[in-house]
Chain A
Amino acid sequence: MKLTSYAQNLFDLGVLKDSGIEEVILGHRLLSRYSKTTDEELNRLIQRARELGLRVLLEWDILMTDEVFEATTPVLKKFLYLVDAIRVQDPGALKWCIEETILPLQFIAENGNHNIESLKGWCELSQGRLERIILSIELARETITEYCHALPIPCEILGFGRILLFYTPRSLLGNLYPEKFAMNEELEVLGESEESPHKGFPILENRHGTFMFHIKEFCLIEYAKDLSESGLAFFRIDLRFSEQKRLTIISSLMAKFDQSKFLEFKEEYPQDLMRGFYLVNKTDILFPKLKNVRLQKREGDFLGEVLEAEKGQHLAILVRNSRGIRVGDKLRILHPKGEEFLIEVRNLRNSSLTEVTEVPSGSLALIPYLTGVWVRSQIFLA
Chain B
Amino acid sequence: MKSLTNSHSLPEVLAPAGSLDKLKVAILYGANAVYAGGQKFGLRTAAENFTLDELREGVQFAHVREAKVYVVLNSFLHDRDLTELPDFVRFLEEIQVDAVIVSDLGVVRTVRKNSSIPIHVSTQASTLNVSAAKIWKEAGASRIVLGREVSIKEAGRIRREADIEIEMFVHGSMCMAFSGHCVISNFTQGRDSNRGGCAHSCRFEYSLSPADSLEKKKAYFMSSKDLQGLRLLEEFIQEGIDSLKIEGRMKSPLYAGTMSKVYSEALRFYDEHGHFLSNDLLKWEAELSKVSHRDYTEASLREKAGPDSIFNERENVKENEWKMVGTVIEAGPDLGLILEVRNAFNIGDTLEFLPFRGDAKDIQVVSMADLAGRDVLRTKPSTLIKLPFIPGIEGQNLVRLKA
A interface vs B, CB < 8 Å?
63-67, 69, 90-96, 99, 111-122, 125, 138, 143, 163-177, 180, 187-196, 198, 201, 203, 212, 214, 276-277, 282-287, 290-291, 295-296, 298-300, 302, 307-308, 310, 313-314, 316, 318, 320, 322, 351-353, 362-364, 366, 375-376
Of the residues A113, A166, A180, contact of B222 by C-beta under 8 Å: A166
Of the residues A93, A121, A193, A282, contact of B139 by C-beta under 8 Å: A121
Residues of B within 8 A of A285 (CB): 190
Please judge, given known A-B contacts A177-B210, A290-B45, A308-B382, whether A94 and B103 are in contact too, CB under 8 Å.
Answer: no
Of the residues A113, A287, A307, contact of B329 by C-beta under 8 Å: A307
Please judge, given known A-B contacts A298-B54, A353-B371, whether A195 and B204 are in contact too, CB under 8 Å.
Answer: yes
Q: Please list 20 pairs of residues, one from A and one from B, whose beta carbons are closer than 8 Å in the complex, sorted by A's number.
A: A69-B130, A91-B125, A92-B128, A112-B125, A112-B194, A114-B104, A172-B176, A176-B221, A193-B204, A193-B207, A194-B204, A201-B206, A283-B190, A283-B191, A284-B192, A299-B53, A302-B53, A308-B340, A310-B371, A364-B384
Closest 6 CB pairs of A and B: A118-B106, A92-B132, A117-B106, A92-B131, A175-B307, A283-B192
Interface residues of B in 92-139 (CB under 8 A from A): 103-110, 124-136, 138-139
Residues of B within 8 A of A120 (CB): 109
Instruction: Using A120-B109, A189-B210, A320-B20 as known contacts, list a sample of 12 further A-B pairs with CB atoms less than 8 Å apart, ordered by residue number in A.
Output: A67-B154, A91-B132, A92-B128, A92-B131, A166-B182, A190-B211, A195-B205, A196-B188, A299-B53, A308-B384, A353-B371, A364-B330
Q: Smallest distance from the beta carbon of B219 to chain A beta carbons, Å?
A: 6
Interface presence of B157 (CB below 8 A): yes
**Which residue of chain A has its CB nearest to the CB of B133?**
A92
Chain B contact-residue range equals: 35 or more
Contact A290 B197 (CB under 8 A): yes
Residues of B within 8 A of A94 (CB): 131, 135
Interface presence of B362 (CB below 8 A): no
- Chain B, 308-327, contact with A by CB distance < 8 Å: what is the 0/1 string? 01100000000000000000
Interface presence of B82 (CB below 8 A): yes
CA A180 to CA B215, docked complex, whole Å: 13
Q: Smallest distance from the beta carbon of A210 to chain B beta carbons, Å?
A: 8
**Which residue of chain A has its CB nearest to the CB of B200?**
A195
Contact B106 A121 (CB under 8 A): yes
Interface presence of B17 (CB below 8 A): no
Contact A188 B382 (CB under 8 A): no
Residues of B within 8 A of A203 (CB): 208
Please judge, given known A-B contacts A95-B134, A117-B82, A169-B178, whether A189 and B108 are in contact too, CB under 8 Å.
Answer: no
**Which residue of chain B has its CB nearest to the CB of A90?**
B132
Please judge, given known A-B contacts A92-B131, A114-B77, A196-B188, whether A364 and B105 are in contact too, CB under 8 Å.
Answer: no
Contact B183 A138 (CB under 8 A): yes
- Chain B, 181-215, contact with A by CB distance < 8 Å: what is the 0/1 string? 11110111011101111000110111111110000
Q: Smallest distance from the beta carbon of A336 to chain B beta carbons, Å?
A: 11
Of the residues A63, A115, A276, contact of B78 by C-beta under 8 Å: A115
Residues of B within 8 A of A362 (CB): 395
Contact B105 A113 (CB under 8 A): yes
Contact B197 A287 (CB under 8 A): yes
Interface presence of B262 (CB below 8 A): no
Interface presence of B64 (CB below 8 A): no
Please judge, given known A-B contacts A115-B82, A125-B138, whether A165 and B132 are in contact too, CB under 8 Å.
Answer: no
CA A313 to CA B138, docked complex, whole Å: 63
Contact B78 A114 (CB under 8 A): yes
Interface presence of B165 (CB below 8 A): no
CA A238 to CA B206, docked complex, whole Å: 27
CA A95 to CA B138, docked complex, whole Å: 10
Interface presence of B81 (CB below 8 A): yes
Contact B135 A168 (CB under 8 A): no
Q: Smallest distance from the beta carbon of B105 to chain A beta carbons, Å?
A: 4
Residues of B within 8 A of A194 (CB): 204-205, 207
Interface presence of B244 (CB below 8 A): no
Contact B330 A363 (CB under 8 A): yes
Residues of B within 8 A of A188 (CB): 210-211
Please judge, given known A-B contacts A90-B132, A114-B76, A193-B204, whether A172 and B310 are in contact too, CB under 8 Å.
Answer: yes
Q: Smallest distance from the beta carbon of A45 to chain B beta carbons, Å?
A: 26
Of the residues A95, A116, A214, A286, contact of B191 by C-beta under 8 Å: A286
